[in-house]
Structure 1
């Protein structure tokens, strides 16, 4: 089983004593090309491209100006958003990390597809940003074929099961229709004013909880995935299908 998740805007590059050996991103050439383009953008460009405040645009302008010499950190330790707040990576054993390195991938506008231990620099580049590169009109077009082929190859090694825990913005970078095997989207809903609804913040945290559940328990089958019960969530068969698993919480 292969899991995909989105990156987060919030990052932490405070040095840590991480005992796990770092790996390198598969798409080093593409990353260099994208970073070089972003290095040429002004602060005002970044404000317009990504709807950033002046302070955030300035921070990311500085990040790209010193991109090659900036600090690096393993991806799963660097991302600190809502999804990642529920992934207890600081408590992972070597066996947990080995499992995650094989079964978890992080989609990224800059890095394409990351393994948990791949080194990354601090950056901001959402997949939905309009950016012309190599005859592509945007990052979806730039990454589409590369990521689809890579996911296809990984699924062949992983029982042909893909569990999509990424946002639509990021999962749209993959041509799901061109993948063989079983693809399952996971939906988390919470009780709100008498009915069950997707609540953004809670759904993000639930995605992280499911990633953590899969890694800690070495889940490899969809049947076992249905046993997920962290945060009070329960699998609801009447609302689910072969292509979409629904989990509800009070």
Structure 2
């Protein structure tokens, strides 16, 4: 069993044509997902464009997605294979072997505006609903208020199930805000990925997203047993920086190649 749980953000871009033989699992906050889907089905293309700040073309695509959502004929696939952003390019789940995938099912959790909290192999339908969306529901003025403590409670249950000793935060601030970290009962370890060039060290969003995925992949393959083991992460040119790290923040730096 893993000694930790790592949390990730989802991706905006999806590929529902992915095919993988890994057995899919069911998401565990289905009743809340259904409520949100019903709410979104009633949105027009213009309303979606305004709510989600997306183009007319994207809003029309998502109108079609929401109208099809929940239909038994609608395509479903495992979340970790569907998501296509930089994080998931780094994770590259389709090339993980069965042991690593099984391990990921216990130790990787994906925060989601629609599904709340996903395991890698949980099946999803095509959607776009970012956690920061100001969608008004009976529970409040945005998705943070809609989800309340439900995501935190489920993650706490997962932590207790495997007796996890820490949570590694690989998620963005937008998604991490959906959790009440003080209620998890274990240390929350943040991660920062930086680039060094010309004597200066800086944060590069594109590279950091890829690095989060690389770290998640490394966790599934290396299976660290204690927090100090995570400092051994050295993929993609990244190395642990002792001087910049703190007790609750692991900093990794790579030298940018000119």
Quote the offset at 1:225 in angstroms: 0.6
**Can you list the C-alpha shifts for 1:116-171, whole angstroms capped at 9, x where unaligned?**
11000000000000112232221111223011112222222333310000000000
Structure 2 matches for 1:86-101, cutoff 5 A?
A: 86-101=90-105
How far apart, CA to CA, are the structure 2 residues paired with 1:185 and 1:142?
A: 25
1:43 corresponding residue in structure 2: 45
**Can you list the C-alpha shifts for 1:169-210, whole angstroms capped at 9, x where unaligned?**
000000112221111000001124531111000000000000
How far apart, CA to CA, are the structure 2 residues paired with 1:215 and 1:135?
A: 36
1:128 to 132, 140, 152: 132
Q: Secondary structure at 2:250's aligned position in 1? A: strand
1:216 to 207, 214, 221: 221
Quote the offset at 1:98 in angstroms: 0.8
1:30 to 29, 32, 41: 32
Q: Secondary structure at 2:36's aligned position in 1? A: helix
Structure 2 matches for 1:11-90, cutoff 5 A?
A: 11-16=14-19, 18-69=20-71, 70-90=74-94
1:235 corresponding residue in structure 2: 240
How far apart, CA to CA, are the structure 1 residues paired with 2:247 and 2:69?
A: 43
Aligned-CA RMSD value: 1.2
TM-score, normalization by structure 1: 0.96
User: Structure 1 runs of 4+ off > 4 angstroms?
Assistant: none
How far apart, CA to CA, are the structure 1 residues paired with 2:47 and 2:173?
A: 25
Quote the offset at 1:93 in angstroms: 1.6
2:192 corresponding residue in structure 1: 187
88-97 or 32-41: which moved more? 88-97
Question: Are positions 1:117 and 2:143 aligned together?
Answer: no
Quote the offset at 1:77 in angstroms: 0.6
TM-score, normalization by structure 2: 0.93
Task: Could you tell me which runs of 5 or more consecutive residues in structure 2 were left unpaired when the two chains were aligned.
Answer: none
Contact 1:160/1:180 (CA < 8 Å) preserved in 2? Answer: no
How far apart, CA to CA, are the structure 1 residues paired with 2:197 and 2:173?
A: 23
